[in-house]
Structure 1
Amino acid sequence: MAEPRRTNVPIDQRRQELAETAVTVMARDGAWALTTRALAKEAGVPHGSVHYAFSSKDELMRAVLRLDLTHLSDLMPTQQDRQVHGPDDAAAAVAELFMAYADSVIAAPDVETAYFELSLMAARDEKLRSLAVQSQQEHRRTMAAFLDDLAEQSGLRWEVEVTLVADQALTLLYGASLSWLEQRDDTMFRAVLQDAASMVGRRLL
């Protein structure tokens, strides 16, 4: 019996679906297990379909890394809607963002682990390192835009360049996430991030 023909979908939608499937493979089997053949098998498509959607493995990895950026940015809009009158309000907004991220890590630890594995792989792979650096820069810009919005709402300013505050905030966020993946202590995870948010908020003058 012949297999049913797959419905044609727009290329952007196919790329999105394949990138999400790639994360599924990495979360289950480890980041190093992601190959175009493994992705094709998981997605139930011919191997050539993956190469049609992504001209190279680098392009696929770029799409996977962008999903992580989208995940972070999707948590931010509700934080930007609040009233910010000073450092305490800014710290509360940062804490809400950090807590939302913590909830997502606790809900899907294997996904977070896969992205940390990608970071470690990038340390040894020059091509992947270049993509990871680009992704980190986009994360920094996203966080900086969030922090700039808090400063604008409050009429205050960050005591140092906002990109530095953004980089430090991300370091605190991802460092706490890595620690939780090792210890699985939810209470400590949230307490550390709450304190980290207070540290960030106090830098608004």
Structure 2
Amino acid sequence: MAPAKRPRVPLEQRRSELAETAVRVMARDGAWALTTRAVAAEASVPHGTVHYTFSSKDELLRAVLRRDLNGFAALTETARADAGDDLADSDGSRTGHSDTLTALTALFMAYADHVIAAPDTETAYLELSLMASRDAELRALVQETDAEYAGLLTRYLSDLAEQAGGTWDTDLRVLAALMQSTVFGAAMGWLENRDDDLFRAVLAEAATQFSRGLRTR
């Protein structure tokens, strides 16, 4: 009797599954352990399946980085929706600093929860960023993702200012880069000391400082 054929998996589903598998390999073994063979073995598929699904290892890495970006985008979307509800009083008037602080704090705390829930995964992504400093091709991929992170934060900050009826003291491109460095730096500190209270306190203070840069009309 001929062996049963494996069910055909749609390409996008396969891409998502293999990207998730790649993250699992990195989280367990380190970002440097990510190879197409390691992903194939972890997913229990032929090595050729990985190469059919992704034209190169760079394409696999781009999908891996996209998963991280999508996770952060989901956090900002939830925070933006919540801010839309919270940044206006019951009579429809604009509020300003206090609610902007609430919105930023909510985003930062959601990020802290995200990191604390999956420390090995966060470590793997930070390892990729460090590896990029020595690998020009990987650096280009990480730079693409960083630019999209900055875009997400820029839009989020712009929305907060519009909803609060104000403007930011600092250029949004600079402010977004500073915010990105702050939250990722705080995550790095937590990965080293695993002090949850300190992690959240640092991010709460960061939210306070950032919110003070919003000037309402």
Q: How does 1:15-54 map to 2 (within 5 A)?
A: 15-54=15-54
**Superposed displacement of residue 79, structure 1:** 1.6
Residue 75 of structure 2 is matched in structure 1 by 75
Distance 2:118 2:173 in 1: 28
Report the secondary structure of 1:8's partner residue: coil
Q: Deviations over 1:139-178 (max 9, x none)?
A: 0001111111111101101112112111111111000000
2:169 is equivalent to residue 159 of structure 1 = yes
The residue identity in structure 2 corresponding to 1:25 is V
**Superposed displacement of residue 106, structure 1:** 0.7
**Superposed displacement of residue 180, structure 1:** 0.2
Residue 104 of structure 2 is matched in structure 1 by 94
Q: Which piece of structure 1 moves more, 84-93 or 66-75?
A: 84-93
Query: Are the counterparts in 1 of residues 119 and 191 from structure 2 also a CA contact under 8 Å?
Result: yes
**Superposed displacement of residue 77, structure 1:** 2.2
Query: Are the counterparts in 1 of residues 26 and 32 from structure 2 also a CA contact under 8 Å?
Result: yes
Residue 180 of structure 1 is matched in structure 2 by 190
Sequence identity of aligned pairs in percent? 55
Q: CA RMSD in A?
A: 1.3
**Superposed displacement of residue 88, structure 1:** 1.9
The residue identity in structure 2 corresponding to 1:196 is A
Query: Are the counterparts in 1 of residues 153 and 176 from structure 2 also a CA contact under 8 Å?
Result: yes
Distance 2:26 2:192 in 1: 18
Give the TM-score normalised by the residue count of structure 2.
0.91
For structure 2, list consecutive stretches of 5 or more residues without a partner in the other structure.
Answer: 88-94
Give the TM-score normalised by the residue count of structure 1.
0.96
Q: Which piece of structure 1 moves more, 15-24 or 155-164?
A: 155-164
Question: For the pair shown, which has the larger CA radius of gyration, 1 or 2?
Answer: 2
Match of 1:195 among 190, 199, 205: 205
For structure 1, list consecutive stretches of 5 or more residues without a partner in the other structure.
Answer: none
Q: Report how many aligned residue pairs link the two structures.
A: 205
Residues 7 and 99 from structure 1, CA distance in 2 versus in 1: closer, same or farther, beyond 3 angstroms?
same
Residue 127 of structure 1 is matched in structure 2 by 137
Distance 1:98 1:166 in 2: 13
